[in-house]
Amino acid sequence: MSRNIIFSTIQRIYNILPPSFRKQSLWVMVLLFLNSILELLGLAAIFPIITIMLQENAVTESKYLSMAYNILGFTSIKAFIVSLAVFVLVFIILKNIASLLIIRKQASYTLSLYKYFSSHLFSYYYRKGFLFFKSNNPNKITRNINSIPSEFSNSLVSNLLNFINELLILILIVIGILLYDPLVIVLLLVFVVPIFGILYRSVKNKASSIQNELNELNPKIGKNMFQSIYGYVDVQMTNTELYFKKIHDTYLHRATLLKAKDKVIQQAPTKVIESAMIAAIVLVALYGTLFLENQSHLTGLLTIFALAAYRVLPSVNRLMIALIGIKGYQYTLEVITQINQEEVKEAAVPVSEQIIPFQNEIKISDLSFAYDNKKPVLQHINLSIPIGASIGIIGRSGSGKSTLINILLGFLYPKEGYISVDDTVVTPDNLQSFRKLIGYVQQDVYVLDATIAENVAFGIPASEIDLSKVEHALKSASMLTFASQLPNGIHTRIGDRGSLLSGGQKQRIGIARAIYSGAKILVFDEATSALDTQTEIEITESIKALSEENITMLIIAHRYTTLKYCNAIIELENGLVKQVHSYDSLSEKALSS
Ligand SMILES: Nc1ncnc2c1ncn2[C@@H]1O[C@H](COP(=O)(O)OP(=O)(O)OP(=O)(O)O)[C@@H](O)[C@H]1O
């Protein structure tokens, strides 16, 4: 019953472990076993000491103690008892120190497994690409990156180690009892094995279905909370707080029910096995009382049985708990194994250090694209963007503007055609170098909960930020005056998701970020309506300043005025270039239609 799951789990874990961890696992097993032996010895060492202290003639009566007494050359029983007590005390202290060291080794082993897989998954998901992120629940992704590896190492692997360790201990105990009185083992086998089997069969599937459902439920709870917190304003304005709260409560209700069941399943083995042991003692005692004439042997047997049960019970119990854990956390293995297999296929995403020279133009050549539903979104686009030019892109909603930009940024790969910089065609191999040329300012700039300087120098440790470069970037983005007036200047924190900034200010942080990174091409997705007229003028002016700095601009425009300094304006319709306008030939009506 349990054999298959134990062997298959060991096999599957072994397959996904890197070689260094495989070796370590053996060491951890040996240490754990050593620890258990020490624990048993520690327990065993106390009894003779107590016996001797209570009964001095025990030294002379016991074969082993009198042997030790004579070999060690003691002449006084008291001195022998004191020395023995000191010896046991030192042994117990050393055993406990060793035990702590082993616990530390085991913890650092399982935690390093967690670290390894979590870090592995972080890179793996980053490689999954833009469309994957767009279409998958971020809570599930974060759970797969963090909680699954944590549960894998702290619950599955730990339980497996505990299981193997406990099994070895149990075998030792059983051998001990077997040597003492084989009949006790027969009694134990008759009562424990069937109970263990029935119990395991009845809870194993429940345990795993509970854990599987909790694993599905947790990202949903996260998603609903995330949506209602970040959508606070919309939730309030649409009066839908109760709707989100109800979903939250329904999920919580289910999760608490499952967790309560899980607790019962965790505790059930202790209670059932304990009851079985007592039932065994009572049944045998009753049998003796009712049917046997001479009960003295039976009383002795029952005492030993009770003592054996007392030793075996916790061990069997831990074995069962570990087994339930192994079954319950199988899903972590599913996730990690699947990811590991896929990763082998996808591992070869090369990072090129090649620097792409850009002196003449960016060219979009005969570019076509369709999403998975195959409906063409861009068809045979041809465009030349000379260095230093500012090009506007307009078109109705759904005409393909964002898709074109996402291809240009390398988030989507064209089905046909290509993008080139001077004579270099952009491919997945040189994408990293190409991106070094580009700065992207989104409609809703992603702002870190950090200072203005850290936001401008995005992803650079605070101590390594070039502050004069930050100031230059802020100046070019018409943001320096505002920033210098803040209490801590450019070192002022701007709140979670830039809550202390206006929409326009966030966009200018985005522009400054692109300038700081040394971008030669700025792709600017103009905010639709968040900006007031004054801010809009300022942004348009910073766009002008940037084009004067010879920065090539590509602007997805929703407003007429933003296009004022554009050299050409491309109008997209149904994925085709419908027309190329100049600013003067374009009326505000054409843009808004
Ligand atoms: N991930 C996707 N999967 C399938 N179809 C998509 C996906 N993203 C966009 N589309 C479709 O591609 C077409 C072009 O969308 P795109 O976002 O490029 O338009 P847009 O011009 O940027 O629109 P807007 O101005 O509203 O942002 C639309 O028909 C859209 O439904």
Edge-to-edge strands of the sheet including 568-573?
438-441, 521-525, 552-556, 390-395, 568-573, 576-581
Rounded CA separation 435/439 (Å): 8
Intrachain domains 2-346 and 361-592 with the same fold? no
396 CA distance to ligand 1 centroid (A)?
11
- Closest residue CA from atom 29 of ligand 1: 398
399 CA distance to ligand 1 centroid (A)?
7
Rounded CA separation 208/330 (Å): 7
Rounded CA separation 13/492 (Å): 48
- Nearest ligand 1 atom to the CA of 395 is 21
Would you give the DSSP letter of residue 498? G
- The per-residue pLDDT string of the chain (593 residues; one tens digit each, 9 = 90 and over) reads 445 888 889 888 888 888 888 888 888 889 988 888 887 787 777 767 777 777 767 777 777 778 888 888 888 878 888 888 888 889 889 988 998 999 899 899 999 999 999 988 888 887 777 788 878 888 888 888 999 999 999 989 999 988 888 888 888 878 877 877 777 777 777 777 787 788 778 877 788 888 889 888 988 898 888 888 877 777 777 778 888 899 999 999 999 999 999 888 888 877 887 787 788 778 777 877 777 676 666 776 677 677 677 777 778 888 888 888 888 888 898 888 866 666 544 444 555 556 788 888 999 999 999 987 778 899 999 988 999 888 989 888 888 888 999 999 888 888 889 999 998 898 888 888 888 888 888 888 888 888 999 999 987 888 889 999 999 989 888 888 888 888 888 999 887 666 678 777 888 888 889 888 888 898 888 765 555 666 667 677 777 777 777 789 898 887 777 777 788 888 888 888 887 776 666 655 555 54
Q: CB under 6 Å to ligand 1: residues?
A: 131, 134, 371, 373, 377, 395, 397-403
Q: What is the ipTM of this complex?
A: 0.96
Residues 396, 592 contacting (CB under 8 angstroms): no
Edge-to-edge strands of the sheet including 376-386?
376-386, 361-370, 416-421, 424-425
Rounded CA separation 160/138 (Å): 30
- Closest residue CA from atom 6 of ligand 1: 371
- Nearest ligand 1 atom to the CA of 402 is 22
Which residue ranges make up each domain of the chain?
2-346, 361-592
HSE toward the beta carbon, residue 573, CA cutoff 13 A? 7
Query: What is the topology classification, in CATH, of domain 2-346?
Result: ABC transporter transmembrane region fold (1.20.1560)
Length of the chain: 593
Which of 396, 397, 523, 528 is the best mutation target for the ligand 1 pocket, counting ligand atoms within 8 Å of the beta carbon and taking the most?
Answer: 397
Q: What is the CATH number of domain 361-592?
A: 3.40.50.300
Rounded CA separation 88/48 (Å): 10
- Closest residue CA from atom 31 of ligand 1: 398
26 CA distance to ligand 1 centroid (A)?
53
236 CA distance to ligand 1 centroid (A)?
28
- Closest residue CA from atom 4 of ligand 1: 371
H or E element that contains 317: helix 296-328
Tell me the chain's radius of gyration from C-alpha atoms. Answer: 36
Rounded CA separation 178/61 (Å): 25
Would you give the DSSP letter of residue 430? G
